[in-house]
Chain A
Amino acid sequence: MTHAIIRSLKSAAAAMVLAGAICGAPALAQDLKIAMSAEPSSVDPHYHNLTPNNQLAKHVFESLTEHDELQRIKPALAESWKVIDDLTWEFKLRANVRFHDGSPFTADDVIFSFNRVPNVPKSPAPKTSYTRGKTIEKIDDLTIRIRTPAPEALMLKHLAQIDIMSAKAAASVTTEDINAGKGAVGTGPYKFVEFVPGDRYVVARNDAYWGEKEPWAKVSYRFIKSDPTRVAAVLAGDVDVIETVPTADAQRLAKEPKLALASALSNRVIYLHLDRLRAESPFIKGKDGATIKNPLNDLKVRQALSKAINRPAIVDRIMEGEAVPASQLVPDSYAGTSKNLKPVAYDVDGAKRLLAEAGLPNGFQLTIHGPNGRYTNDTKLIEAVAQMFTRIGVDTKVETLPPSVFFSRASSGGPDKTPEFSMILAGWSAGTGEPGDSLKALLGSFDPKAGSGSANRGRYSNAEVDKLLAQGLSTVDDDKRADLLARATEIAINDVGIIPIHYQKNTWAAKKGLKVIPRTDEYTFAMSVRTQ
């Protein structure tokens, strides 16, 4: 009898444990584990303008405006705004927003953050281009005015890049303090828990968030740079979501029943930059090895090279469908792009004809330089381009370098800090979600003082492009600005200032039952992951 009771008690206990395990499952599902493909250099939001840093910062910090998943501007800490005149903007700040330490968010925090950005010590890539020239005036606790010396068309885009820190909590903290958790106080949907450089970043839900509360109690990010390891981690269930699914695996993972894939066309263009600075280019020789006049200064040669590239083949064979042939600097779904430009069609005979017309019927010798491991399949891409150039008679060699070495030499490795190479492959992501910034950086005449041509490693310079660009960037009216920028793009691209190849697609893989809202800016946010 007693035995029977004990036995039944035992089985009841077992049943309870089992039930507990089943009930426990949804509770566990509140934790989210995400694997990132790149590592942040810090979690200080003002320290380094780097994709992984910005991505992680947006969980804890917010800015006055924010980008939605298609990089359109939406209000965030600023509730509304109006343009008072071309040089003055007025922002109404959101009321009843509290920092994670409970203190209220006011205009003083905005002013503090804008003053902190240019004063972060040892910043490798500061965000000063977004704060430069802006003077902020406090009208009352929840109203500010921002004045600029010239009309600033990209005001709202720039404000989205500056995360607001608490003036009280972050008053005298250093980047190292923030990495250790001191002063990492924002208004965002998640609170800072822990940052272990090289390993993980952990945040917890902010239950006092002003907006919609997040479904995840705890989110941990792991940094897994190796592609196969990251894929293996999501397949094994060690993580729930991975970013940057390698192109080699995308097709196979799409068939995997345990996973769901999401992808979005990114704002990153992969392009070739051509040396337009020199009369004789260091990595271009005649077929016989003799020094020749820089052929890239001839429009016909540039057109020939663009026609020699079989973009659909690159997308299909190298990118395995995870890209789209490019016609300009940002995909033409964005405002300010040209609808007249189409990807240049593959035409070997036409390319050879153009080379002959340019007086180079036999072609020439060229070396293309590029990074190994910065962009998806970059090395293979350069090899494919080299194959295609070789077919029109331009004997092409490939040299790839570690990204940090490549970028410093490509920007200033030559004599007098000039760009070192004759032709490079690189990528550019339009962080602002419009073509103005990209045009200014890649195709604006090189002028560090004016902040123009900061990534113009070919030193392309066209007075008309510069003029339209300057007009566009100081036109606050959206339609007029879009028209001016589209015209500038058309001129520069028809003049083959760069040779666009493709726009990357970003792909995420998530455990079945989770849904990732794909973003064009490549960011992987816990805020974009939802249960289905």
Chain B
Amino acid sequence: MSGAAAAQRESGEFGRFAARFMEDRVALIGLAMLVVIVLAALLAPWIAPQNPYDLARVDIMDSRQPPGAKAGEGFVMWLGSDGVGRDLWSGILYGLRISLAVGVLSGVLAATIGMALGLLAAYAGGRTETLIMRVVDLQLSMPSVLLALILVALLGKGVDKIIVALVAVQWAYYARTVRGSALVERRKEYVEAALSLGLSHARTVFRHILPNCLAPVIVIATVQTAHAISLEATLSFLGVGLPQTEPSLGVLISNGFQYMLSGKYWISFFPGVALLLTIVAINLVGDRLRDVLNPRLER
């Protein structure tokens, strides 16, 4: 088979997949929102009027201004400012960067670790499987917020530590999912065929079994990314997440919490809306992916 033909077949498959995805209007809106949100986060340094992490540019004289007020530096703060004078629109754009980066990075790491352990469990069986799966059970029986809270309290503040904590609470979901599908795949004829051809175990696992287990992992990954983002926001809201001077969405919401009763709603409200939209967008896309990738729903 020539390379071009393979590419054509692949693009044909992707095309069919994309077409099926697009059939759902709501999912399409979710995808569009997600694209806009990711672009806004990536382009934050160019579209935000203020670098909210640069203390020389943030001025407490601008603090607690309502939406539409003018900052000391001249730009208009369309969403108002928070308690230390940070422009909320800029704060949200930069906060999205951190929230998305934390969500995606922890998702990728957790997926890698989880998949590797899940495959190992399914393929090796016996004691290895028992050991890995009991750890997974143990892990899943603990509430994730509690576990993350303990880990972050032990590790300290910072983006890297949050990611470690989030990976620690997420990998088990991937491991269990992958083991489930790998157990089914392992008994199929093509695996036997591959082994009887003399392929190594590693090649059999990674080139033959793994690709056939990916569909459920992709679905779990979208759901878990949204979960990771909200978990990070929760930890930051509780004051154990990210540092004050480099706020994520959770820190911004937490900063505004004390003003809720005093009528300065915007400090918590707008970051809250941004968080909500991000998670809804990811979940809409994830839902549709599940429908499209589920072979049982195949027409």
Contacts and interface: CB of A to CB of B under 8 A. Distances in A.
Interface of A: 227-228, 231-232, 246, 248-249, 251-252, 313-314, 317-318, 372-373, 377, 379-380, 382-384, 386-387, 390-391, 396-400, 402
A390 B259 CA distance: 27
Contacts of A386: 55, 245
A387 B261 contact: no
Given A228-B258, A386-B55, A387-B85, 8 more contacts: A227-B258, A248-B83, A248-B262, A313-B60, A386-B245, A387-B59, A387-B60, A391-B56
B184 interface: no
A387 B257 contact: no
Given A384-B84, A390-B56, A246 B61 contact: no
Contacts of A231: 261
Interface string B44-87: 00000000000110111101100000000000000000011100
Interface in B226-285: 239-240, 243-245, 255, 257-264
Given A252-B262, A387-B58, A399-B243, A318 B83 contact: yes
Interface residues of B, number: 26
Interface of B: 55-56, 58-61, 63-64, 83-85, 157, 239-240, 243-245, 255, 257-264
B156 to A, nearest CB: 9
A105 B92 CA distance: 64
A252 B83 contact: no
Nearest to B158: A399
Contacts of B264: 248
Interface of A, secondary structure class, is helix
Contacts of A251: 262
A383 B245 contact: yes
Given A248-B259, A318-B83, A383 B244 contact: yes
A318 B82 CA distance: 11
A397 B245 contact: yes
Contacts of A397: 245
Interchain residue pairs A-B with the least CB separation, the first 7 = A390-B55, A390-B56, A317-B60, A384-B60, A387-B55, A248-B262, A249-B262
Contacts of A377: 83
Contacts of A373: 239
B59 to A, nearest CB: 7
B58 to A, nearest CB: 6
A380 B245 contact: no
Contact of B85 (A232, A249, A317, A399): A317
Contacts of A313: 60-61
Nearest to B263: A252
Contacts of B257: 228
19 contacts: A228-B261, A231-B261, A232-B261, A248-B258, A248-B259, A248-B261, A251-B262, A252-B262, A317-B60, A317-B61, A317-B85, A318-B83, A373-B239, A379-B244, A387-B58, A387-B84, A398-B245, A399-B243, A402-B240
